[in-house]
Structure 1
Amino acid sequence: MTEKENMIHGLAYNSRDPILTQERLHAKSLCHQFNIYDPNKLEERMAILRQLILFKGTAHIEPNFFCDYGYNITIGDSFYANHNLTILDVCPVAIGDNVMLGPNVMISTATHPLNPIERKTTEYGTPIHIGDDVWIGGNAAVLPGVTIGNGSVIGASSVVTKDIPEGVLAFGNPCRVIRSIS
């Protein structure tokens, strides 16, 4: 398999691979264009991100936005993200319909080996799935391999390290279920 195929499938890969480096630079260039684009030209600004990300409907992302590749991100209808969204998409990130993200949210599929020798040459990732009707508060971090169930709310500054079921309020570091949402 290629380094890109290894990466997308969550296997160890070399991020310095020339193809991956070129694809990352392309994504960073488009993110830069988006981030400095005239804020009065909303549709034109979002069209820049549509070159990277699969949007399944309407979406609005406030600048600044950062991602690694973009092509591993799928976003449902009626999506809103406040300022400074970062998505490290070495593996697929699937976001459902009617999702709202507060400012400074970080969604990261990327991780690294604990062994310092291995960490010099390889990294890997695990996909993330965020269901429909989810709200993630500002400064929250969603870590590799997490699924957040439909209708759940993640409180501000939470670090989501494990799956969160449907229809719950969860917050903290590490994030934990506080109660059901009625």
Structure 2
Amino acid sequence: MPNLWQTLADDLEANTGRRGWLRGVLAYLYHPGFFAIANHRICHCLVKLGRTGRAAGAILNRLSIFLTHCYIEPSATIGPGLSLPHAVGIVIGHGVRVGSRVVLYQNVTLGAGKPNGSSYPVIEDQVVICTNAVVIGDVTIGRGALIGALSLVRSDIPAGCVAAGNPARVLPCGSVLSRGEAVRRGLRA
């Protein structure tokens, strides 16, 4: 995994489209998505430093939860370039693994599938998870997949697929049209 500064630079670019230390400071102060993920990165490093680090990480984590309303467990493994465009209500459990360049919209939950918290999802690279989606249990969301809004995912989603619904089902290829394409075909979008 890249070092902390490179990972934060990738997160900054994913959330603001820019790089640089001054932009990073400004984004930390004014961009809730970058603030939440930057605090997770710092907490993730602190919990590895023993008792004092865990205590400092716990305080910073609680402050981040209070200010952003995002619960990101410090022990969750998150790749570089996580984008949180609307960072409110996001929950990422402690056993979750998230790949690089993933986008999570508001109120997304990535959590345990069993009461004892023994099974967590794996989100591969370049996945987009839309508003109010819930991904729970021992499932894998394949690289480049898109999970639709209000979906409940309890089974694996193959790479590059679009899944939606409750429970989520993989949509057939070509069934999702952009608004412009639907208008060109004479359909209502």
TM-score of the two chains, using structure 2 as the length reference:
0.58
For residue 132 of structure 2, what is the aligned residue in structure 1?
139
In the TM superposition, what is the alpha-carbon distance from 1:145 to its structure 2 partner? 0.6
Q: Is the 8 A contact 1:78 1:99 kept in 2?
A: yes
Higher relative contact order (CA 8 A, sep 6+): 1
> 1:49-88, aligned counterparts within 5 Å?
49-53=40-44, 63-67=68-72, 69-71=73-75, 73-81=76-84, 82-83=86-87, 84-88=89-93
Letter paired with 1:142: V
In the TM superposition, what is the alpha-carbon distance from 1:98 to its structure 2 partner? 1.1
For residue 126 of structure 1, what is the aligned residue in structure 2?
119
Q: Over the residues paired in the alignment, what is the CA RMSD in angstroms?
A: 2.9
Q: Is the 8 A contact 2:126 2:143 kept in 1?
A: yes
Deviations 1:123-164 (A, max 9, x none): 232031101110000000001111000010000010001010
> 1:28-67, aligned counterparts within 5 Å?
38-39=29-30, 46-53=37-44, 63-67=68-72
- Cα gap change, 1:41 to 1:130, in 2 (>3 Å): closer
Unaligned regions of 5+ residues in structure 2, if any? 1-27, 46-66, 177-189
- Cα gap change, 1:70 to 1:173, in 2 (>3 Å): same
Q: Is the 8 A contact 2:36 2:70 kept in 1?
A: no
Larger Rg: 2
Q: 2:142 aligns with which of 124, 129, 149?
A: 149
1:176 aligns with 2:181: no
Percent identity (aligned)? 32
CA distance in 2, matches of 1:43, 1:172: 29
Q: 1:108 aligns with which of 88, 106, 111?
A: 111
Q: Equivalent residue of 1:79, what SS?
A: coil
Q: Equivalent residue of 2:100, what SS?
A: coil
Unaligned regions of 5+ residues in structure 1, if any? 1-36, 55-61, 113-122
Q: Equivalent residue of 2:39, what SS?
A: helix
More strand by share: 1
- Cα gap change, 1:131 to 1:39, in 2 (>3 Å): same
In the TM superposition, what is the alpha-carbon distance from 1:51 to its structure 2 partner? 2.7
Letter paired with 2:39: I
For residue 11 of structure 1, what is the aligned residue in structure 2?
none
Deviations 1:101-133 (A, max 9, x none): 111001112522xxxxxxxxxx23203110111
Which range moved further: 41-50 or 163-172? Answer: 41-50
